[in-house]
Structure 1
Amino acid sequence: MNTVQTDVAIIGAGSAGLPAYRAAKAAGASAILIEGGPHGTTCARVGCMPSKLLIAAAEAAHAAQHTAPFGVHVDGTVRVDGREVMQRVKSERDRLVGFVLDSVDAIPAADKLTGYARFIDDGLLQVGDHTRVRARSVVIATGSSPVVPAKYQALGERVIVNDDVFEWSDLPRKIAVIGAGVIGLELGQALAHLGVDVTVIGARGRVGPLTDPAIKAYAERTFQNSFRFEAQAEVEVATRVGDAVQIRFRTGAGEVVEDTFEYVLVTAGRKSNFEKLALHNTSLTIDKHGAPIYDPLTLQAGAHPVFIAGDANGVLPLLHEAADEGRAAGTNAARFPDVAPLKRRASIAVLFSNPGIAMVGARHADLEPGTFATGEVSFEDQGRSRVMLKNRGLMHVYVDKASRQFLGAEWIGPDAEHIAHLLAWALQMKLTVDAILEMPFYHPVVEEGLRTALRHAVAALQLP
């Protein structure tokens, strides 16, 4: 058994672990990066990038099928070749993963260990069956995994999670998507636009991350134009029948529906990857879900030299947040006991649908009634949106009544991902609605719709 000593041990070499390693080294500490699973980060292998490759193919197919209103007529039928679609998804995915692997390969061999780590005691880790690591501080960056509820686990290979989609060699004919969160809606709509018969079944009335009732209702109606969407339904039975799955579910209106699907894609949430760590061998305080209790600002677990970063902590499972947390955790681990709080960026969330969904800053559900004014714009008659025939969408912006400061926004509409960045920057700069309106708005652009919403908020502020 080999034994090594280090200042900082980082468990997990993903979107948080790699920045944690670099930050610890930059702070002058020795560090060892431990990885038991595949390298390449969740984002590059099975998350952000392959899903956007599938979505890009879906956008191309959808655009090709909707040229006639422009007076542009495509002769014959638009044909989607599922094998070619998936071949590009996988080849480009592998190329992107390769860039991450190159960065891992550049790390000195002495600073890397392969194998799953588990705690023997507070500062001692067992890696695989070959190495023990004695560390002064530990960063846990083990990521998260999809949850498959018990009722679907008997379906064998007919139940899949989003990771499995990107290993397909061809597109299926018919699929049920369980869960109406970001992953379920993105993949469900992409597959539908590529010709797959899709039913999305939600349980709690969710429509992605939205909390504003008006925006959520608009988005639900919009998605129903792409696929069968039951935002509030209960799956009563899911049974394997040969190479298919028969599902019986009850809709929110009480209708009982039975249908048969080639696959069931479960997007019912994710859980932190703590189960292999043997945390019971430590003196960490563990919550009822088996996760260490930690400070979300410093990322430190109690008074211990242990820091939780990235998807493992479940706070903001986004790439840029994971990287920020990794850097903060690595720095704090290297400098322990001198730890500093993480400075969070403005909150931003994007769902890459057609039209897109975005949220910036405070959610509608979290705002105190009576303290804010709402500005609204419909994109249905917004100039540039109508020119492009992308005129679907509704936006609400929220402004503090006392300070006139921009607080947040929720919307569905064209160019949502780009407008979201403008608003996130404005939020981080703590701009008032008046200051944002002093910024230039070119004509004709979709951003003029944002200006309309902001002007509407100013008018609402003047109401008694």
Structure 2
Amino acid sequence: MKQIEVDVAIIGAGTAGMSAYRAALAHTPSVLVIEGGPYGTTCARVGCMPSKLLIAAADAAHSVNVLAGQAKAFGVRAGPAQIDGVAVMQRVREERDRFVGFVVDAVEQWPAAHRLRGRARFLDDQRLQIDDHTVVTAKRIVIATGSSPHVPAEWQQAAGDRLIVNDDVFAWTDLPKSLAVLGAGVIALELAQALHRLGVRVCLYGRSERVGPLTDPVLQALSRQIIAAELPMRLNARELRLQRDGHQIIVRGADDSEQRFDWVLAASGRRPNLQGLGLENTRLPLDPQGVPVFDQRTGQIGVSPVFIAGDVNAELEILHEAADEGRIAGDNAGRFPDVRVRPRRATLAVVFSDPQIMIAGLSHTQLLSSGVGFESGTVSFEDQGRSRVMLKNQGALHLYAERSSGRLLGAEMIGPAAEHIAHLLAWAIQRGDTVQQMLDSPFYHPVIEEGLRTALRVLQRALHMGPPPVERCLDCGPGG
């Protein structure tokens, strides 16, 4: 058994692990990254990038196909889209492999002494066994093992090889004829809508009435209404039963209604990759789910020299959060015991559905549970000027500000250009801008952001702060 001693050992070479490596290396050259799977981040290999490639193809088909009817409103004639599933998936795979290649090249340029292949298992707080070939003794350790799709055992047993997870979608060489999507979260919603627009017969099954991540009850109801108008869905489907019938799967609900599909996509959430890590051999504090208890500001687990970062901590499973957490954990592991608190960025989450969905800063539910007094400002995009011009006039934006100071705290939205408005709001929230300061900023005409200004004016009136509201543009509609 080979023996290695290092200052910092990092378990996992994904987004968080790569960031941790760079940060730890600033303090010591004695750093080792241990990886048991293929190099290449979740984002590049099976997450954000390949899913956006699929969504881009779906948007193109939607523009030609479904929007052909809307094009008539502009005086434009368009024909039905001809979808080549083989060509669609070939571009997805080729571009995915290109993105993965960049990541693999970056890791393989690290010194060979900084890389070790194999699966790590804790022997105690500071010793790791790597497969059956190496024992690593590390003064500090960073856990950055990521997460994996959760598949209930009964689904797997019933469906067998006809059940897939989102990772499998991007290995397809052609589009299937039909697919049941079990789940109604971000991954389920993005893939279900994209495949539906690419001509696959899709039905989305959700255990509750929730569709997507929005927590504001009014916006959640609006999300259901908008998405269900296009995508076949069955919500409150808590007692689904799967039955294999040859090369098809029968999906039955509690009311004994049934549909047949070629494939079933399990998209019911992800779980931290902690199984087999040997945490039971350590003195690390664990929560009831077996996830290490850590300080979000430092990445430190308890008072130990072990840190955690990325999806494995079961907090915010988003690439930029994983990168930030890796940087914080790696820096503190490198400088331990001089552990330092690092400020976190304002929360920012985007769903690339159509319309897009976003949450910036604190959500409605988080604000309610915090006990902070807040007011809301809203705008509908149904009559917002630029949105209506583009026939993108669906959805609404809700803003939340602190009652005592007028400082913007959070926002939720479903509607046009949500990915861009989310950034504007996250930046304002992180700076601590007040509603008045945001209203004092320039707004061009005519743009979708004028809807944001309308919501800010409504919020300002609710706060009873600032000068009297300026009259809106009479040519634009209620939303500017």
Please give the TM-score of this superposition, normalised by the length of structure 2.
0.93
CA displacement 1:42-90 (0-9 Å, x = unmatched): 0000000000000001111111121333222124x31111111111001
CA contact (8 A) 2:401 2:408 kept: yes
Structure 1 residue 69 corresponds to structure 2 residue 111: no
Alignment of 1:153-164 (within 5 A): 153-154=156-157, 155-164=159-168
CA contact (8 A) 1:193 1:226 kept: no
Of residues 320-329 and 288-297 in structure 1, the stretch that sits farther from structure 2 once superposed is 288-297
CA displacement 1:185-236 (0-9 Å, x = unmatched): 0111111111111111111222211111111111111111221122322233
Of residues 280-289 and 443-452 in structure 1, the stretch that sits farther from structure 2 once superposed is 280-289
Structure 1 residue 131 corresponds to structure 2 residue 134: yes
Alignment of 1:11-90 (within 5 A): 11-65=11-65, 66=67, 67-75=71-79, 77-90=80-93
Q: Residue 449 of structure 1 aligns with which residue?
A: 451
The aligned amino acid for 1:167 is A
Distance 1:266 1:216 in 2: 22
Residue 132 of structure 1 aligns to a residue in which SS? strand
CA contact (8 A) 1:197 1:227 kept: no
CA contact (8 A) 2:26 2:334 kept: no
Q: Structure 2 residue aligned with 1:148, among 125, 130, 151?
A: 151
CA contact (8 A) 2:360 2:412 kept: yes
Distance 1:434 1:306 in 2: 44
Displacement after TM superposition at 1:371 (Å): 2.2
Q: Residue 427 of structure 1 aligns with which residue?
A: 429
CA displacement 1:224-249 (0-9 Å, x = unmatched): 12211223222331111111110111
Structure 1 residue 166 corresponds to structure 2 residue 173: no
CA contact (8 A) 2:7 2:28 kept: no
Displacement after TM superposition at 1:256 (Å): 4.4
Displacement after TM superposition at 1:459 (Å): 1.8
Distance 1:343 1:61 in 2: 43
The aligned amino acid for 1:456 is V
Determine what percentage of the aligned residue pairs are the same residue.
56
Q: Residue 271 of structure 2 aligns with which residue?
A: 271
Q: Residue 93 of structure 1 aligns with which residue?
A: 96
Q: Residue 197 of structure 1 aligns with which residue?
A: 201
Residue 123 of structure 2 aligns to a residue in which SS? strand
CA displacement 1:109-142 (0-9 Å, x = unmatched): 0110001011122211111222211100000000
The aligned amino acid for 2:350 is V
Q: Residue 303 of structure 1 aligns with which residue?
A: 303
Distance 2:455 2:419 in 1: 17
- Cα RMSD between the aligned structures? 1.4
Gaps of 5+ in 2: 466-480
The aligned amino acid for 1:57 is A
Alignment of 1:342-353 (within 5 A): 342-353=342-353
Q: Residue 211 of structure 1 aligns with which residue?
A: 215
Residue 400 of structure 2 aligns to a residue in which SS? strand
Distance 2:15 2:372 in 1: 40
Structure 1 residue 395 corresponds to structure 2 residue 394: no
CA displacement 1:413-457 (0-9 Å, x = unmatched): 000000000000000000000000111111111111111111111
CA contact (8 A) 1:235 1:247 kept: no
Residue 239 of structure 2 aligns to a residue in which SS? strand
The aligned amino acid for 1:462 is H
Residue 24 of structure 2 aligns to a residue in which SS? helix
Distance 1:102 1:370 in 2: 47
Distance 2:447 2:256 in 1: 45
The aligned amino acid for 2:298 is T
Displacement after TM superposition at 1:349 (Å): 0.8
Q: Residue 182 of structure 1 aligns with which residue?
A: 186
Distance 1:42 1:86 in 2: 18
Q: Residue 109 of structure 1 aligns with which residue?
A: 112
Distance 1:246 1:74 in 2: 37
Distance 2:197 2:182 in 1: 18
Distance 2:202 2:73 in 1: 25
Report the count of equivalent residues: 458
CA contact (8 A) 1:245 1:261 kept: yes
Of residues 49-58 and 292-301 in structure 1, the stretch that sits farther from structure 2 once superposed is 292-301
Distance 1:152 1:243 in 2: 15
Gaps of 5+ in 1: none
Residue 177 of structure 1 aligns to a residue in which SS? strand
CA contact (8 A) 1:87 1:169 kept: yes
Please give the TM-score of this superposition, normalised by the length of structure 1.
0.96
Displacement after TM superposition at 1:181 (Å): 0.6
Distance 2:55 2:240 in 1: 31
The aligned amino acid for 1:70 is F
CA contact (8 A) 1:159 1:263 kept: yes
The aligned amino acid for 1:375 is G
Distance 1:163 1:13 in 2: 18
Displacement after TM superposition at 1:285 (Å): 2.4
Distance 1:56 1:374 in 2: 34
The aligned amino acid for 2:336 is F
Residue 414 of structure 2 aligns to a residue in which SS? strand
CA contact (8 A) 2:372 2:402 kept: no
Distance 1:401 1:280 in 2: 46
Distance 2:287 2:408 in 1: 36
Residue 350 of structure 1 aligns to a residue in which SS? strand
Residue 398 of structure 1 aligns to a residue in which SS? strand
Displacement after TM superposition at 1:29 (Å): 4.5
